[in-house]
Structure 1
Amino acid sequence: MGTLGYDRPLYILAFDHRSSFEEMAQKAGVAPDEVPERVRAAKRVIYEGFQHAIRNGAPRDAAGILVDEQYGADVARDARAQGYLFAMPVEKSGQKVFDFEYGEDFAKHIEDFNPTFTKALVRYNPDDDPETKRIQLERLKRLSDWLHERDRKFLLELLVPATKAQLESVGGDTERYDRDVRPSLTVQAIAEFQEAGVEPDIWKIEGLDRREDCERMAAQVRQGGRDHVGCVVLGRGADPDRVDHWLRQGAGVPGYIGFAIGRTLWWDGVRGYLNGNLSAEAAAEQIAANYRRAIDLFVEAAAAAAR
């Protein structure tokens, strides 16, 4: 096993979405039997946007993509051939409880594509049912152990959805939950993962409204000698102004190395492409501009924080 963690800058354009992509295509009027190929084409447009950004100055050693096998196998194989940083998911899409997309064959798929990072998404709240928590932790520990035994990097996307009681405690106000309740729950969840032996190299963390909460998060992921473990900000499909704020809060915090953002950067471009209002080239250029802007914002905010 190599050193735990990844602490170099990392700016991921994420488009491993599956069920939400299918819904998006259907809403754009794509015929059901044409949805799979149109989704694959849309992912190629996003990838072209990524490459366009690289050609126009995005840092190749820090820029990366997150793409799935189901609709993006060709993109993943090209990314590997081109030497780009890339991550691939192992989880079934849209599940409340983490499970492997390919069951007992998960290892074969990882070895076949050989991604830079293997990503797992988990919905986990410390107040969840204990049996559900146990099942998720056991499955993720199996993945964590398998990856580290083979010196592979593990990217864990942690979502902490509110329980009914937690939401009621803030009068049903989801923004208040995000600001005042979720940060402490996320720190607690990370501690529970660590206690269970689930050891990501990078934590993909929901955006935080306060810098001090980013500092708490980074301190937790690095506690106990995990000095090189990193955090990246995820966008959760939020509006650009909200995501910009989250990026500014994390930028420059030791341990926060970048972001992994998807829909906020490509939604409008892909929707325009699918409904025929944008050409593939125009959509790719729009996505590239949004991606470059996010990188520049994070870099500039980190530089300002260091002054």
Structure 2
Amino acid sequence: MTPRGFTKPLYILPFDHRGSFETGMFGWKGDLTPEQTAEIAAAKRVIFDGFQKAVGDGVDKDKAGILVDEQFGAAILRDAAALGFHFAMAAEKSGQPEFDFEYGEDFAAHIEAFKPTFCKVLVRYNPGGDADLNREQAARLKRLSDYLQGAARSLFMFELLVPAEKKQLEQFKGDKKAYDRELRPQLMIGAIEELQRAGVEPDVWKIEGLDRREDCEKMVATARQGGRGNVSCIILGRGEDDKKVHEWLTTAAAVPGFIGFAVGRTDFWDPLVNMRAGKITREEAVTEMARRYREFVDVFEGAKGVA
């Protein structure tokens, strides 16, 4: 089946982080208490408020969107729907090397309960990695893809991560930046093609940051090959600093087929840490998140059509 695709501008603020919130932000391990769960949910509410402020301050609502998880963000998902925002919902288990459904065989019921604009998966898939693992992941992802292609169901957003295999990294003497620049782009193309052959048909690909325009152009061409002309790409922030994220946004924005971005941690992490440490107020955190998100929108918009 050919995907429906999505071609409108799309500026996503993702805060579907789960394991990184529990351990990295809060320092908690093991099963959470109801109080701890509520505290993380409250932190995510701050991020959502920052997003809403950015829209109130001038970011085009039709281009704006959020990505959040059901575990800590169920109320936010419902509010986003009621307020008419584009919103994406995570379907994968957090922090696992292998893709699997967060809610197992009940995955469809959870998607239908919220009816998100996009159902999102994060998948680590290296075509030079474990072939059996890749086949198992692709089979699960095809189930989801086939389900989502049903009438009036959510669009499919696919976050593709291609972590280096040990031998691949050794080619660059352990230099991850060299791997990212010289090898990862072609591995990403190989991963997309393998997944397409396996019947996995996203409407939007979330792509790790690329340093070269030609790599962005190849990514779009691969995503849209074979009659997939309405499939688009958005660029990820990967938690990098502002300077690097600005570079990636600028490079991608100039390429037709890259319709936007998904930048999360670079936007909200520091303001949230500072708020929790008592260095800034909740209102100041909301304002800073809104400012950062608006800045990323301005960078992307400003770079559109640049040769």
The TM tier, using the shorter chain, reads over 0.9
Counterpart contact for 1:191–1:220, Cα < 8 Å:
yes
Return the offset for 1:250.
Answer: 0.4
Deviation at 1:304, TM superposition (A): 3.2
- The amino acid across from 2:58 in the alignment is G
Is the 8 Å Cα contact of residues 11 and 62 (structure 1) preserved in structure 2? Answer: yes
Task: Trace 1:259-274 onto structure 2 (pairs within 5 A).
Answer: 259-274=261-276
Whether the aligned pair in 2 keeps the contact of 1:39 and 1:71 (CA below 8 Å) is: yes
Choose from 224, 246, 249 the match for 1:247: 249
Contact 2:13–2:67 (CA under 8 A) maintained in structure 1:
yes
Question: Hey, what's the Cα distance between the residues in 1 that align with 2:45 and 2:2?
Answer: 33
5+ residue gaps in structure 1?
none
Other-structure match for 2:19: 19
**Does the residue aligned with 1:224 lie in a helix, a strand or coil?**
coil
The counterpart of 1:214, out of the listed 192, 212, 216, is: 216
- The one-letter code matched in structure 2 to 1:10 is L
Do the aligned residues in 2 keep the contact of 1:38 with 1:274 (CA within 8 Å)?
no
* Pick aligned residue for 1:201 from 197, 200, 203: 203
- Asked if 1 retains the 8 angstrom alpha-carbon contact of 2:48 and 2:76, the reply is yes
* Structure 2 counterparts to residues 105-144 of structure 1, below 5 A: 105-144=106-145
In structure 2, the partner of 1:66 is 67
| Pairing 1:285-300 to 2, within 5 Å after superposition | 285-300=287-302
State how far apart, in whole Å, the 2-side matches of 1:40 and 1:240 are. Answer: 26
Could you tell me which amino acid in structure 1 is paired with residue 273 of structure 2?
R
d(CA) in 1 for partners of 2:142, 2:275: 40
**How far off its partner does 1:3 sit?**
5.9
Matched, 1:228 2:230: yes
Q: Distance in 2 between matches of 1:304 and 1:213?
A: 16
Consecutive unaligned residues of structure 2, counting only runs of 5 or more, are none
Q: Where in structure 2 are the equivalents of 1:144-159 lying within 5 Å?
A: 144-151=145-152, 152-159=154-161
> What whole-Å deviation, never above 9, does each CA across 1:271-300 have from its counterpart, x for those lacking one?
112222222111010000000000000000
TM-score, normalised via structure 1 length = 0.96
Measured in 1, the distance between the counterparts of 2:258 and 2:265 equals 21
Are 1:24 and 1:271, in contact at CA under 8 Å, matched by a contact in 2?
no
Q: In structure 1, what is the equivalent of residue 6 of structure 2?
A: 6
State percent identity of aligned pairs: 55
Q: Whose helix fraction is larger, Structure 1's or Structure 2's?
A: 1
Q: CA deviation at 1:111?
A: 0.3
Deviation at 1:127, TM superposition (A): 1.1
For residue 97 of structure 1, what is the aligned residue in structure 2?
A: 98
How large is the Cα RMSD of the aligned pairs?
A: 1.4
Deviation string for 1:49-100 (max 9, x for gaps)?
0000010000100100000000011111000000000000100000100000
Deviation at 1:252, TM superposition (A): 2.4
- Over 4 Å off, 4+ runs: none
Amino acid at match of 1:12: I
Contact preservation (8 Å) 2:255, 2:305: no
Q: Partner amino acid for 1:118?
A: C
The one-letter code of the counterpart of 1:221 is A
Distance 2:305 2:119 in 1: 29
Q: Deviations over 1:185-224 (max 9, x none)?
A: 0001000011111000000000001111000000000011
Partner of 1:171: 173
Q: Is the 8 A contact 1:248 1:297 kept in 2?
A: yes
Report the Cα offset of residue 38 of structure 1: 1.8
Task: Look up the equivalent residue of 2:277 and give its one-letter code.
Answer: N
